[in-house]
Structure 1
Amino acid sequence: MERLKNKVAIITGGAQGMGASHVRLFVSEGAKVVFTDLNEEAGRILEEEMGANVRFIKHDVTNAEGWDKVVEETEEIFGPVNILVNNAGIAMNKSILEMTEGEYRKIVDINQISVFLGIKALVPSMKKVGTASIINISSMNGIVGGAIGYTDTKFAVRGMTKAAALQLSQFGIRVNSVHPGVIETPMVTEGDSYEAIKQLAKQIPIRRMAKSEEVSNLVLYLASDESSYSTGSEFIVDGGLTAM
């Protein structure tokens, strides 16, 4: 199928994990994709794997000038942008008493400020195409409580999504948030809390972690014209965990 035929997408944090899954699925559905990440080695490998319709740009999502350069290069290569997936993010498993101010500000910059910068940078390009979709990757912890810093920023992304959706609808730009639950990605499997997360997974109604592709399928729907009447909404993919 070609659900994204003739569309141009930018995906942040796209070199590995869920981001790489989004890149692969978007390309398979006909999109031209620019993906960004700080992990240049992984990014170049994926770029080579995916072929002519993909470009990798090393990019610090917390830098406004960097965002402007990404948009400029994307338009030069593929044209105006139809889709933005704000996927880049980090987690940190520390209590409020252990976390330093510097660590907290780092999480806010990457998980929250980057989403603001991305939306702001992409609007002029998206206005050129008339209809566009922004998908902000939040978390189930943007719905319910969780780790300090991570939860705070994911709630902020949820609120920012709603505010941006109201302001940008006049330009034909839709904005929605996706709230994954426990996803089997390197952020989880290589983290200090992996054993605890495996135990948590046994309590999920579906009784397992999700695969990255299961999140990507939802992101694809929101990126496509199939979701043309959805904006300012939360889309939860957590195996029923927040229903408990």
Structure 2
Amino acid sequence: MRMARLPLLLLALVALDACGGASDRGTPARHDTTAAPAPDRPATLGPCATPAGGDSLCFVGSRSHDFAGDGRPFRIEIDARGPAPDSLRVALRIVRNDSVYHRADWSTALYGRYDDGPVSRDSTRRRAAAHLARLLGDSAFVPVRALLGGAPAPDAMLREAIAFDVQVAEERRRRGLAPGDTLPIAARESPAPVADSARVRALAAELRGATAYRYYAGGEATYAVAWSRAERRFVTVFSCC
């Protein structure tokens, strides 16, 4: 299943870079399973406050969530901007204390990947606004178990997603990349194999009951990440259509 996803990841241009900071040491964490708090501020698709270059349309917003359950919430930040609803550059960041722990980037052009014909500008705008708003909505926060409910072998599906994530994480470590750095596409799509089934099983056991953050990047690209207290980083627990 992993190999079938690789062309999609390349198409989506999604940078699934996650890493825990070495200085992020505190009280042993527990996973938060409560409802996500209200957004820090409402966000809508509208004119940019300070237009730059060809960017005239913007969506900027954030909300906080205590993924680690230690009283120090992370902040999910969304910044999308560009000349038109179907050509916005979307930047998603999960940060704490101004350190980036997860990042993803894509274009709203991918929201129309399966359009059968031309779509009106008004419809394109409403669609982009709806997808962007969901990045900060309650539906973005979901138990990992719920993501696996429809799979014929949910535990195997979870371990497969985590195994690939471990390979990407090790590729980042070998290259000495910081959490906010972009991993080259080739390395993201075909990281060096890592044979560490014990690590994968441990992460699966830890994260099976966690709360994940799920986001849609267009086409068939839906991802979910969950915070691992053992590895002090966000781990991709779902990557599918």
| Normalised-by-shorter TM-score class | under 0.3
Bigger relative contact order, structure 1 or 2 (CA pairs below 8 A, ≥6 apart): 2
Which protein has the bigger helix share?
Answer: 1
Which protein has the bigger strand share?
Answer: 2
Q: TM-score, normalised by structure 2?
A: 0.26
Q: TM-score, normalised by structure 1?
A: 0.26
